[in-house]
Structure 1
């Protein structure tokens, strides 16, 4: 059995070679890939295809190499105009500020001794 030259290299050498040969992928290049396919993606959406079906096709064809979640996020933001903050409810950690009731009742208070007339 003939051993390949890769088997003769140390792990560190193989890692260094892989790092040199690996394509640099950044969020900017992912965004650019979606923008490059913008018209095709938009047409497929208009034709009734789901974002998942579109992703699976362009991923299998090698046009995109990133995750479906990232693809969906780019499509929503760049093509469908959905902002990630739209529709989210911003809550105040202190709760809503309301004025106390005019009748002076401030809330429920528990009375451990029941009044018999209230039980009838």
Structure 2
């Protein structure tokens, strides 16, 4: 019967959506637990991977200086792979960390804040159009 087939398909769709919603809920709850939230992708949150610098060498090829915690690495990136070229010495890593701290101290403000400030200035000058 055609009505039974439609109900069967609808039942499968409802079950699929329910399973996906349950998976989403469980993963969100696990991420809130201290034992699971300490690590994200195998990297401790306090030592997350951060790209400090990237130099493009050609199409789909680049050199990357990346930091994980207090350690810095020089990586070669190509179309389908990432290769560790070397781990930077403590002195080299300290120089990159100093750059990172300077960069974060002069970090740009979010776009939303800059845009709202610009709109306020326009309104004050009477340039705002409705």
Specify the TM-score bucket, using the shorter chain as the normaliser.
Answer: under 0.3
- TM-score, scaled relative to structure 2: 0.19
- Larger-Rg structure: 1
- TM-score, scaled relative to structure 1: 0.20
Higher strand share: 2
